[in-house]
Structure 1
């Protein structure tokens, strides 16, 4: 098999070798080639050599090459070939690319070296940087090149203005081609010249007719234009007028955008300046702005007389309108923040809201009585502010009412805000719906009239433009309060809806010109305050308003003037009018309060010549300091005093239980073992369930008593009874809030249990102290028992003879029963504590034999007191015997006559009381007194924030007179400062307003 494969490969190689058995024709080969390579040539006489032997000897077919054999191309004929190898080697080495590469490397190195030498010769310009001003390096911080680039026309606008050069070039090329050599035009003219004469005349006549026809068409167009010009003069003038108005509107809007851009830049610069002042190292004492002082004056006046009966006549902007007319939206556009709660068709403004707008570095809002600032640039703070305003409104509304006349004061600060004071009033309604108070309509009218009847108040009348003018309620009210319109500014809202829905646009023009409503005004404005979506931002509303008025037909047809639209123009106009009113009226109002202040000062000097003028807040601060001093004095109580009163109070609380439930039942036993067992069981049960709780109650009551003693203790001549009601209220509220530590009972239980388990009396002094304690306790009980028996049987013979007193029939029966029971006890002094039924029957029979009818229950009640007295006397006698029993107790002698187990019991009780009192004293001084002081401070802080509470607790003619005098002095001082700084601030303010 291998031999066959080898043979086939060799035949294939021989078959495809060049020059062997070629199929080319013989005549196409060279003569030498034919004789050498062609096997069938007649001159060939050489014998063919055998290739088989050579292939077998010199070829290795077992190791075939890995690559294909590259066969030489077939060459026909004789081709001589020279082998001049030095020339070929030189040609390879001297190729052009090597020369270029070497030249490039060398030239690059030389150029770099030369450039470094030149660079070293150039001086360092960084040392001369100080010559150039810093403003050049910081110019990009002050000039916004991006805004300038946006203001320049873009490529599309330039493309519209510049001519189309491509079309011009195309037209010129066509004209050139027409007159160039060989062009169709020239060929046509040549054909005309070289043609026949008839063709020449034909061509010339056709061209002349075309020219004549064009002239006739031009003449006809001119005649038509002249004829049409006579009829279209008025139309052209009207069209030109509309175009002029459009150009004016576009120009005004352009300048308005430039003004807004400059204002925004000015706002940012002012913000940076204010922030730089805030970060200064040395802070100056900043003066309050004019608007802040003016707002404080209004707040004081509002607090002075909330009923508005004797209210001031200082200017303020009063925002009135029908419900859902857009009052709140207009106010929000002026304040540049969505700060008020809103509801579709629902009354949201339930009390007047006084908004003081002022300029500041940050856009924030805060209430008059709170230090929290709401960041109006954050949506969560805006939501919190709206929620807080709604809560305050609902808090001001009393039960059974819908609206309230109490004013909520809110300050809004921000860059670029117009400084003024506005009051948002509840919307005027026509019908009282379900859920409202019956007098809601009248209350809203009275509140609105109270604010509008101020002769210096600026009335901002808001009218909904999307509803019929005949449905307006507020216009009649405004015309009644300001019939001449000297202080009224009319604002038409929702103009976009009005333009869309109103069939006659001239009706809107009549409203703005003041010809439709029966009222007059200083100015008329038309604004758009959004699309009705409460989630719209102020910036989106401004853009929508500007876009609407830019495309509005009312402006294009000159029905509205450009200065009568947008809330920006409205804000500027209201601010100018407001400060004009302020300047004219503040001095006059300041003079009107001088006489009232003089009268109050005279009354105070005559009635309270030795007392200082302290208003309610100052009196509260004085009382607060006294109360805190008295609370601190609790920590100065000595430990001995605390332990004595605690031990005494605790024994008074538990003595009845110890004697009645522990000692008396155990004493009925016949031996000491049973006595000790009974005592241990009952003490364990008492300690686990009742004793710790009783101890904590005693400690808390003791703390209350000591606190009350310090609070009510008279201070001599310096005591002022005007603080008594306040101190009592603080004491009650503090005690109500205070709670003892919850872990105190657990620790007390362990300590008391360990103390009661100890039975070892170490010395005679403790033994005598226990006997003394036992005697005091038993004598107190005996005395109480004697009094109970005396009340039961009535006065004895001595009191009956000396004080002329007699016994009642019941007392006589008790006396007879007592005598009978005493006889029975004399017969058996060791009688048990309870009477048997046969003994009760015996006593009753004996009394009946003497004519005394008695009930068995009466016998039992009398026996209880008689046996109790008998037992206590016996225990006292036994206690006297145990005075000398300590030696027997210490030596553990067993003597039935001196078993002093009861003395050990009272020693255990006494020691438990001492340890409990010591533990409670430590808890008092270390923890509870401080917690009580903290509660008192919290109560005082709560009372300080509650003005109604202070009015209720600090009363009297003296307080009211001092309050009125203080407010008058504050008003005089603030108005004096207002007048003093008005001249200096007013010029700056007006300048800033007009610069804006």
Structure 2
């Protein structure tokens, strides 16, 4: 009887316990629903407040959120050091996992939008994607380098965002490769989103399949290691729960990077499939308690990211996940704890861990940057004490202003200076043709009528074919030289050679783009032809100027001729005696030939320009009589130089006589001694030079200088948008030091 009573009492107590547990479960569910409702209401209220602030109703100055600033710091550090994954120790959440383990799906649940391209078993994440999550009134996404906002509540914007991410990934992958280390930066804002920075990496693979680069596996491994080596990186290790745990290769990799599990959060995905397919559900319990893998972690989570359909919405996935865990025996039997399940709890845990890590590491990193800044500033003070710290972009703007000032200075060159330079340069270019092809052939005829006819024909041919083209060449070269001269003078004042390469490149590219107006050639031809047709010297000063011009020209040619003869015959007796130098055998023959030909010229002062055959024979025999063997070609060549000297000397003498010949010229008197047709020729040439220089100067100042200015501005604009060009043209330790200082100050 006592035993029966005891049995009844135990049964009664068990029923009471069961009733109490059921009542407790109902109470928990009730309060859980109330809590969810309140959270939902709070989320809606926060959204309203944010929207009001966003519209400026409260007139409060909106500043960047802390997470946005933090993300910008990471971007700056990315530019500051290409190896920032190992050098920079600031925290970020690194999402790693085997391919198709559900990494991207977990990240999308945290971001509350299906923002990534989808594929059935195919590798979709081909480069790191840095996602900055923050709260905002509207659910939007934006790339770091783009101003376009994608509205994540609209399916067409979601599709466009996924397409853009896929394009950027494919663009970042070099030819012959499968994955890229180039980071794509994306920000996602929305109501209720936890603030953090995550980096989604390509999934770790065990086998390289057809179509992949042979080094894909090693590249992904090294990329994952580089990100996980950061001692403050939070490793979000994603494991596929629907496959055998032994097939995973990512857990061993995570164990190597974080052997004590101090910054690892483990996530088991596809728990619904695991519970359905696994014969022993307790295996899931072993995984989330950290007893199955040697890998250790701060926390373990189990999540469900939908049924696997590509068209599922985030809300549908959330509802499915909540329904699954409410009815799951894993929770009911105590194999999983309530705080270990759902992506919502995971997001909160990751965010808490992220900000805890940020707080612990920022001060330490700030001290490192403070020390680096001190070292850089000390180097600057020692090496560049009187210079401002200008980075490459600031230096480019300074150089741009200087170059534009130099181009403007070009338009301030006086007309007199332009014409003087043009006239001098044009004469240097055409003087040889005038003397050798026009003056000497006509003058050596020794006949006044023949001289004028020959000159007129040759001047006409010259004007039609060569002169206008030569004149435009001279004008273009003069513009280039003046432009270069102004740039060189400006440099001399500034004493800063850091812009030399840039200025030279701008000058070269501007000149390369500049095309002279070819229509100017036709009008120039007419002007030059008219100038050369005129033979009317109106006053004595013009006559005297022409004689002076002729004298200077002939004296210059005579000097050159004397130099040629001296080189032919070698040193004279004074040089041989004082400097102990001797003639070469060839110079000895030349000297003997010269002496023989000089005697011939003395006998025939009015000799023609060419030697007759019998004269050549006579000279040769005379030389042979003195034991000198000479070739007829050498005799003629020597004669040409001697006769040229003889003729130029006579022309200069005649030029002196013509100084008093203007009276006869003006009255058309005929006097064989004062027949000064050569003076008239040089006056015509001189007048043509003056008129041409004036015409070219007008074209320069009215048109070409302005066109060159425009070219320079266009080149500077093009260079300003070309970072590679600026890096190539503005170089040196001073630039790098200023850039490092600028970046480190911004980061601080």
Query: Normalising to structure 1: TM-score of the pair?
Result: 0.60
CA contact (8 A) 1:321 1:427 kept: yes
Q: Indicate whether 1:545 and 2:324 are aligned.
A: no
Question: Alpha carbons of 1:518 and 1:802: their partners in 2 closer, same or farther (altered >3 Å)?
Answer: same
* Higher alpha-carbon deviation: 607-616 or 876-885: 607-616
CA contact (8 A) 2:593 2:623 kept: yes
Match of 1:523 in 2: 300
Match of 2:148 in 1: 374
1:862-941 matched pairs, under 5 angstroms: 862-886=638-662, 897-900=675-678, 901-923=680-702, 926-931=705-710, 933-935=712-714, 937-938=716-717, 941=720
Aligned residue among 490, 502, 506 for 2:266: 490
Match of 2:499 in 1: 726
CA contact (8 A) 1:730 1:940 kept: no
Aligned residue among 240, 262, 276 for 2:56: 276
The whole-number CA distance in structure 2 between the counterparts of 1:471 and 1:827 is: 116
Q: Indicate whether 1:672 and 2:452 are aligned.
A: yes
String of CA shifts for 1:578-603, please: whole Å, max 9, x gaps. Answer: 22322333334434555555566566
CA contact (8 A) 1:374 1:382 kept: no
* Higher alpha-carbon deviation: 749-758 or 585-594: 585-594
Q: Indicate whether 1:816 and 2:592 are aligned.
A: yes
Q: Indicate whether 1:698 and 2:470 are aligned.
A: no
Displacement after TM superposition at 1:318 (Å): 1.5
Question: Alpha carbons of 1:796 and 1:325: their partners in 2 closer, same or farther (altered >3 Å)?
Answer: farther
Of structures 1 and 2, the one with the larger relative CO (CA 8 A, separation 6+) is: 2
String of CA shifts for 1:83-119, please: whole Å, max 9, x gaps. Answer: xxxxxxxxxxxxxxxxxxxxxxxxxxxxxxxxxxxxx
Displacement after TM superposition at 1:780 (Å): 2.8
Question: Alpha carbons of 1:298 and 1:813: their partners in 2 closer, same or farther (altered >3 Å)?
Answer: same
Match of 2:4 in 1: none
Aligned residue among 551, 576, 579 for 2:355: 579
The whole-number CA distance in structure 1 between the counterparts of 2:411 and 2:476 is: 20
Q: Indicate whether 1:314 and 2:90 are aligned.
A: yes
Q: Indicate whether 1:788 and 2:561 are aligned.
A: no
Q: Indicate whether 1:470 and 2:268 are aligned.
A: no
String of CA shifts for 1:361-397, please: whole Å, max 9, x gaps. Answer: 6635243xx5x41232447974785477448735xx7
String of CA shifts for 1:778-830, please: whole Å, max 9, x gaps. Answer: 33333333323322322222322333322222222333344444455556666
Q: Indicate whether 1:750 and 2:523 are aligned.
A: yes
Question: Alpha carbons of 1:826 and 1:440: their partners in 2 closer, same or farther (altered >3 Å)?
Answer: farther
String of CA shifts for 1:552-605, please: whole Å, max 9, x gaps. Answer: 699544477787666555444432322232233333443455555556656666
Displacement after TM superposition at 1:615 (Å): 5.9
Partner-residue secondary structure (3-state), 1:713: helix
Aligned residue among 219, 224, 247 for 1:448: 224
Q: Indicate whether 1:365 and 2:139 are aligned.
A: no
CA contact (8 A) 1:821 1:843 kept: yes
Partner-residue secondary structure (3-state), 1:454: coil
1:281-360 matched pairs, under 5 angstroms: 286-308=62-84, 311-323=87-99, 325=101, 327-328=103-104, 330-331=106-107, 334-335=110-111, 352-360=128-136
Partner-residue secondary structure (3-state), 1:374: coil
Question: Alpha carbons of 1:576 and 1:505: their partners in 2 closer, same or farther (altered >3 Å)?
Answer: same
The whole-number CA distance in structure 2 between the counterparts of 1:285 and 1:652 is: 71
Partner-residue secondary structure (3-state), 1:659: helix
Partner-residue secondary structure (3-state), 1:953: coil
CA contact (8 A) 1:466 1:501 kept: yes
Match of 2:579 in 1: 803
1:419-430 matched pairs, under 5 angstroms: 419-430=195-206
CA contact (8 A) 1:667 1:675 kept: no
Q: Indicate whether 1:713 and 2:492 are aligned.
A: yes
String of CA shifts for 1:232-263, please: whole Å, max 9, x gaps. Answer: xxxxx9xx99xx99999999899879967974
The whole-number CA distance in structure 1 between the counterparts of 2:643 and 2:273 is: 101
The whole-number CA distance in structure 2 between the counterparts of 1:846 and 1:246 is: 141
The whole-number CA distance in structure 2 between the counterparts of 1:640 and 1:444 is: 71
Question: Alpha carbons of 1:960 and 1:887: their partners in 2 closer, same or farther (altered >3 Å)?
Answer: same
* RMSD between aligned residues: 4.9
Question: Alpha carbons of 1:553 and 1:571: their partners in 2 closer, same or farther (altered >3 Å)?
Answer: closer
CA contact (8 A) 2:506 2:712 kept: no
String of CA shifts for 1:843-871, please: whole Å, max 9, x gaps. Answer: 55554444334445545544554444444
Question: Alpha carbons of 1:344 and 1:884: their partners in 2 closer, same or farther (altered >3 Å)?
Answer: farther
Displacement after TM superposition at 1:922 (Å): 0.8
Displacement after TM superposition at 1:625 (Å): 5.1
Match of 1:55 in 2: none
Match of 1:659 in 2: 435
Question: Alpha carbons of 1:762 and 1:303: their partners in 2 closer, same or farther (altered >3 Å)?
Answer: same
Structure 1 residue runs of 5 or longer lacking an equivalent are 1-236, 975-996
Partner-residue secondary structure (3-state), 1:276: coil
Question: Alpha carbons of 1:286 and 1:778: their partners in 2 closer, same or farther (altered >3 Å)?
Answer: farther
Displacement after TM superposition at 1:677 (Å): 1.8
String of CA shifts for 1:149-197, please: whole Å, max 9, x gaps. Answer: xxxxxxxxxxxxxxxxxxxxxxxxxxxxxxxxxxxxxxxxxxxxxxxxx
Aligned residue among 763, 778, 796 for 2:538: 763
Displacement after TM superposition at 1:288 (Å): 3.1
| Structure showing greater Rg | 1
* Higher alpha-carbon deviation: 627-636 or 606-615: 606-615
Partner-residue secondary structure (3-state), 2:515: coil
Match of 2:549 in 1: 773
Displacement after TM superposition at 1:460 (Å): 1.7
1:150-169 matched pairs, under 5 angstroms: none
